[in-house]
């Protein structure tokens, strides 16, 4: 079965850093675009960052420069390095894997909570 398992969330001081991990299983990981999304209470889920199978990256404009996405295909894992965390960053962060060519599929992890303290 396909599994995406996020980890690395928790409490961090404002201005601090945190690194999230997403470990995938059950898919040919290197052929998928993978990304991070987040959802705060009362808000819509929004895209944070993506990295394609070819290594191209895409970031939300407001987050570019603070967050960095990377992938380790040998470990079937994608990371999100979050620096200079701000009060608007707390949310549940979700991992996503997407493939548009056969075999097609879109998968989501269960999320990991990020909390920022002053």
* pLDDT 10s digits, 61-115: 999 899 999 999 999 999 999 999 999 999 999 999 999 888 899 999 999 999 9
Q: What is the pLDDT of residues 30-54, one digit of tens each?
A: 999 999 999 999 999 999 999 999 9
DSSP string, the chain: --EEEEE--EEEETT--EEEEEEEESS-GGGSEEEEEEE-TTS--EEEEEE-TTS-EEE-TTTBTTEEEEEEGGGTEEEEEE-S--TT--EEEEEEEEE-SSSPEEEE---EEEEEE-
């Amino acid at each position: 079965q396909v599994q995406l398992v996020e980890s690395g969330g928790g409490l961090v001081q404002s201005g601090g850093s945190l690194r999230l991990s997403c470990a995938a299983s059950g898919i040919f990981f290197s052929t998928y675009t993978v990304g991070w999304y987040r959802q705060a209470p009362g808000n819509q889920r929004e895209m944070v960052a993506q990295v394609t199978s070819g290594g191209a990256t895409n970031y939300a404009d407001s987050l570019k420069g603070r967050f960095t996405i990377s992938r380790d295909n040998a470990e079937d894992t994608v990371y999100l390095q979050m620096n200079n965390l701000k009060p608007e960053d707390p949310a549940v962060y979700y991992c996503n894997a997407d493939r548009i060519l056969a075999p097609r599929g879109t998968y989501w992890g269960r999320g990991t909570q990020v909390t920022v303290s002053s």
